[in-house]
Amino acid sequence: MTTLAAETTSQERLITMILFTALIAVTIGITVWAGRRTRSATDFHSGGRGFTGLQNGFAIGGDYMSAASFLGIAGTIALFGYDGFLYSIGFLVAWLVALLLVAELLRNSGRFTMADVVSYRMRQRPVRTAASVSTLTVSIFYLLAQMVGAGALVALLLGIEDGDTYLGMSADTAKIVGIVVVGILMVVYVSFGGMTGTTWVQIVKAVLLMGGALLVTLLVLSIYDFDFGALMNDASSASGVGDAFLEPGQRYGVEVAGDAWQTMINKLDLISLGLALVLGTAGLPHILIRFYTVPDSKTARKSVNWAIGLIGTFYLLTLVLGFGAAALVGREAIVGQNAAGNTAAPQLAEAVGDHFGGDFWGAVLLAFIAAVAFATILSTVAGLTIASSSSLAHDFYNNVLRRGKASERDEVRVARFAAIGVGVISIVLAVFAQNLNVAFLVALAFAIAASANLPTVLLSLFWRRFNTTGAVAGIYGGLISSVGLVFFSPVVSGKGVDAKGNNLSLFPESVDFHWFPLENPGLVSIPVGLLCAILGTLLSREEDPDRFARLQVRALTGAGAERATTH
Amino acid sequence: MTTSPTSEGSEPPLAVTEARAVAMHDDPRFRELRARLVRFVLPASVVFLAWYLLYVLLSAYADGLMSTKVVGNANVALFFGLLQFVTTFGIAILYSRYANRSLDPLADELRAELEGSGEEPAARRGEDA
């Protein structure tokens, strides 16, 4: 009943395929409609800035709650209990940084990209180049993690196991097909639909995700007569570790008996991860550009409030989903399907569907949650693609190469092609990386955002003395230190193999050049990025108090802020 | 500077002349606006970051405390985690109320004045609202 692949019937696959096709058809329809409304650069990069707070709040939720947070957090809770919840809290608290310090000020002072704000009172070309490099690095790493996950997920959701075929595809071909289809769709959404198309895809996804999670949560709770304590009881006794399942320490900050050094490293790693999550969110380029899609800073504030409500509610639901999967599906069945627990949520959907309506409804609910997961992947990769293409076209092409003299038509055309380029590159990288362990890239993207982007955005808004050298040093310092430290960390080489012999690092187990003990660089790279920004500033005598005055007046009052276009 | 983000676009935003913006930066009302923003945002950020860090540190180092059961199976760790949700929602609500009351009217007044679209007397009246 609860293994997806082995007993997947052709009926289940048929329903899954129908829902996938319907989802693709709806999103393509949205894209065509949005494409007709996308003419100016403001339309392409910012969707005309006409979205309401509610719409943008859902779109932010759709952008932010990636497959890693939906399937990953539910799976982590199902396998490791409390620590999955601990992980999700960092993703939520982070939104206060966005609300209090970033969203409104960015909306008032910028135009299309993060670099608009950072470069406002600096020399344009070096700062925009740095910001563009950082945007692309963060987005491509995040994209790669999503797409490799997408390939495996499509194979799993269609229930194709090794040695098995469906529609003539083996599991390996299905993975590649999954990556290519996701890659093509994201390019289509972005290059034809621009930000308007991307936003509506994200809104649709957020509604589906909340609806699906709420439905399964209610079904799980009704099995337990809405007694959450009974559910926790069942989950902890099914977990095999008893009460420890409900306490921190199964996944993060793990205590290794007899190894005080490794225990200390594990605990520092947890703190490092927590810092990167909380400070990284408000520096993620694909999140930052969402604040430009609304008419003014008040609407930006409202949209963050909606997003906080949605994301918070969703993580509370995942607690039920995770415990439900632990109790009703069971650890063995989950790990049997996917070692990281990524299929725990779809498996749970099938289990509760079976419980209430028999096999047919089990299959329907499974297919529905699989389609939700697919929508989740599509909307996040679309957000990452438009962030990359906007930065390439607006920052790099227009402001660096053409010194700000390119026409809007040119900039939009370049942005459309940039989306295709980003799509092709990430498809190729993802196909090559499909069997590598790339899960660490998500945490790395947050660490770069926290080390390189957030400090420079905040300093440019609040530190009068901050200048070009400081901004460039801050961005590259944060970027290089986080990527460099991860390169020499156990996630890239030397972590060894797990109990089943699976390699835990990116490089083969025979290679080991790691010397940095932590898996998450934030604890070191965030201070390094900030320090580089401060030292770089003090080493240069450049200072422009008038531009600073203009930026701050604009950021705080909204005077001269970009307006919405009217259609 | 020709690359100024305000300088192009089919529907350019109302022009804010450099001199007026620079003068506004020293205006006591602008300083008051900035002080009001900082007065809320700075302490709130310190509080929620410290509160979150405390939670992470306790999760890492305070096994005994976190695993203490409060009601039935629900331990301190669960309540501490749920409290993070409560404080996040709470700070968001408090900030929005504060911004609506203390930041927006003043920001709107200064904005109208800078863009020259609001009538001077109307803007003045907004000051005490």
Q: What's the pLDDT tens digit per position in A334-391?
A: 888 877 788 899 899 999 999 998 888 888 898 899 889 889 999 999 999 999 999 9
d(CA A232, CA A427): 41
Choose between A305 and A359: higher pLDDT: A305
pLDDT (tens digit per residue) in A472-523: 999 999 999 999 999 999 988 888 887 777 788 888 888 889 999 999 999 9
> Is the CB of residue A58 less than 8 Å from the CB of residue A203?
yes
CB contact under 8 Å between A403 and B3, yes or no, is yes
Q: Is residue A560 part of a domain?
A: no
d(CA A422, CA A286): 14
pLDDT level of residue A167 (50, 70, 90 thresholds): confident
Choose between A156 and A269: higher pLDDT: A269
CB contact under 8 Å between B74 and A550, yes or no, is no
Q: Which domain holds residue A366?
A: 10-34+42-245+278-435
φ/ψ (deg, to 5) at B3: -90, 5
Query: Which residues between 338 and 377 in chain A have a beta carbon less than 8 angstroms from any beta carbon of chain B?
Result: none
φ/ψ (deg, to 5) at A304: -65, -40
Residue closest to A383 by CA, chosen among A37, A149, A56, A132: A56
pLDDT (tens digit per residue) in A392-421: 999 999 999 999 999 999 999 999 999 999
Lowest mean pLDDT across A12-16, A226-230, A246-250, A279-283: A12-16
Q: Please give, rounded to a whole number of angstroms, the shortest distance from the CA of A316 to a CA of chain B.
A: 9
pLDDT (tens digit per residue) in A177-227: 889 999 999 999 999 999 999 999 999 999 999 999 999 999 999 999 999
- Domain boundaries along the sequence of chain B: 28-127
DSSP-assigned letters across all residues of B33-92: HHHHHHHHHHHHHHHHHHHHHHHHHHHHH-HHHHT-EEETTEEHHHHHHHHHHHHHHHHH
A124 to chain B: which residues are within 8 Å by CB?
1, 3
Q: Is residue A308 part of a domain?
A: yes
- Of the candidates B9, B73, B93, the beta carbon closest to that of A42 is on B9
Q: What is the CATH number of the domain that holds A372?
A: 1.20.1730.10
Q: Is residue A480 part of a domain?
A: no
Neighbours of A194 (CB within 10 A): 32
Residue closest to A60 by CA, chosen among A26, A32, A95: A95
CB contact under 8 Å between B74 and A301, yes or no, is no
Residue B23 has pLDDT above 80, yes or no: yes
The confidence score (pLDDT) of residue B125 equals: 39
Q: How many independent structural domains does chain A possess?
A: 1
Neighbours of A452 (CB within 10 A): 35
Rounded to two decimals, the ipTM of the complex is 0.92
The confidence score (pLDDT) of residue A9 equals: 64
Q: Please give, rounded to a whole number of angstroms, the shortest distance from the CA of B60 to a CA of chain A.
A: 6
Q: Is residue A405 part of a domain?
A: yes
pLDDT level of residue B16 (50, 70, 90 thresholds): low
The confidence score (pLDDT) of residue B119 equals: 42
pLDDT level of residue B15 (50, 70, 90 thresholds): low
Average pLDDT, chain B: 82
Determine the longest span between alpha carbons in chain B, in angstroms.
Answer: 67
DSSP three-state, residue A120: coil
Total-model pTM: 0.91
d(CA A205, CA B29): 44
d(CA A391, CA A134): 10
> Is the CB of residue A316 less than 8 Å from the CB of residue A89?
no
Provide the β-strand partners of residue B74: B71
CA dihedral A520, A526, A531, A537 (to 10 degrees): 130
DSSP helix, strand, coil percent of chain A (3-state; round to 5): 75, 0, 25
φ/ψ (deg, to 5) at A139: -65, -40
